[in-house]
Amino acid sequence: MRLGKRGGTIRMIESKTTGSAVNKVGANVVLECRNITKNFGHIQALKGISFKLHEEEILGLVGDNGAGKSTIIKIIRGVFKPSSGEIYIEGEKKEFENPGSAIREGIQCVYQESAMVEQLSVAENFFLGREPIKRYAKGLIKFVDFKKMRAEANQHLMDVGFNLEIEEEINNFSGGQRQAVAVARALYSKPKILLLDEPTTALSEKAQMRLFTLFRRIREICPMIFVTHDLDDAIKLCDRIMIIKLGGPAFETDVKESCKKEEILKYM
């Protein structure tokens, strides 16, 4: 298995973190956003957001629709450039020109709509944008290595607990199965940070719980930022929650046994 960035494997992690979220956050800061602002014309979508993401942590960004949480994700993901502010990854300042450059820096994302191409197979969606290449005629001819693609996609999906027909078109699968492919795809490149942009919003309760279990299993492999409008979901999954309101930070708290939902709701 190759999922563990630091040599860990899914199976090892599973034995440590079965059940609810465990507040076991590493000390090292993996991602830091400093005073991020974003203007769309005269509209200020983000008004100076700062936060840190630590090793083995799941940070929840919670807010209503239009609060600006997805804008932050898109900035970290390289889709938008911030109007001002800085992003640091493992202490190093980074600027992303496009999603490709963010991916190269180890940032992967799972979206609400799972970012799949309906007409392609599970294996092709798994390797979307980074297809393995086989060289022929001394490297002059380069073709996609479908055999490797199928074998590796199958293996990695099994690692995250899903056994899907790898050659079938992705539009034949349910939302939960597609999100599992999206998560396995994101983990394949051993990311430093995994962004979860409302990945469970359109899913059934059962599919949602299955994905939450998966996220808990992988938190030691890579820290995550979980974006949601649902406070209950954030409390179920995250170690720390940051409430975002009207483009700015409103409240931040660790998720503990004594954590009162009503208290947090006041800030939303």
Partner 1 sequence: MYTREIRKALFDINGIVLIVASIILIIIFSFSNPHFFTLNNFRVLLESMSILAILSIGVHFLLVAGEIDISFASVLSLSAAVAAVASPGNTFYIILVSLLAAAAVGVVNGFFTAKVGIPSFLVTLATMVGVQGIVYIITDYRAVLLSNDLVIKIFFGRFDVVGKTATAVFWMIVLLIISGVTLSYAKYGRWAYSTGGNARAAMLMGIPTKRVKFILFIISSLMGGIAGLIMVSRAHSARPLIGDGLLMPAIAAPILGGALLTGGRGSITRTTLGCLLLTIITNGVNLLGFEPAYRDIIMGSILIGALSIRTLQQKGGNFLIRKRKQNS
In 3D, which of 239, 241, 257, 260 has the Cα closest to residue 249?
241
Contact residues for partner 1, defined by CB under 8 A: 77, 79, 98-100, 103, 109, 111, 115-120, 124, 128-131, 133, 142-144, 146, 171-175, 177
**Based on CB atoms, which residue is closest to partner 1, 45 or 164?**
164
Decide: 238 and 226 in contact? Cβ < 8 Å: yes
In whole angstroms, the minimum distance from the beta carbon of 88 to partner 1 comes to 22
For partner 1, give the closer residue by CB, 224 or 238. Answer: 224
Cβ-based nearer residue to partner 1, 18 or 171: 171
Minimum distance, C-beta of residue 106 to partner 1, in the bound complex (Å): 13
Name the 3-class secondary structure at 20: coil
Q: How far is the CB of 105 from partner 1 (least distance, A)?
A: 12
CB of 39 to partner 1, least distance (A): 21
* CA–CA dist 114, 176 (Å, integer): 10
Nearer to partner 1, 225 or 234 (CB): 225
Phi-psi label, residue 258: left if phi above 0, alpha if psi -120 to 50, beta otherwise: alpha
Phi, psi of 181 (to 5 degrees): -65, -40
- Tell me which amino acid residue 104 is: R
Q: Closer to partner 1 by CB, 82 or 175: give it.
A: 175
Handedness of CA 159, 78, 64, 225 (dihedral sign): positive
Q: How far is the CB of 230 from partner 1 (least distance, A)?
A: 23
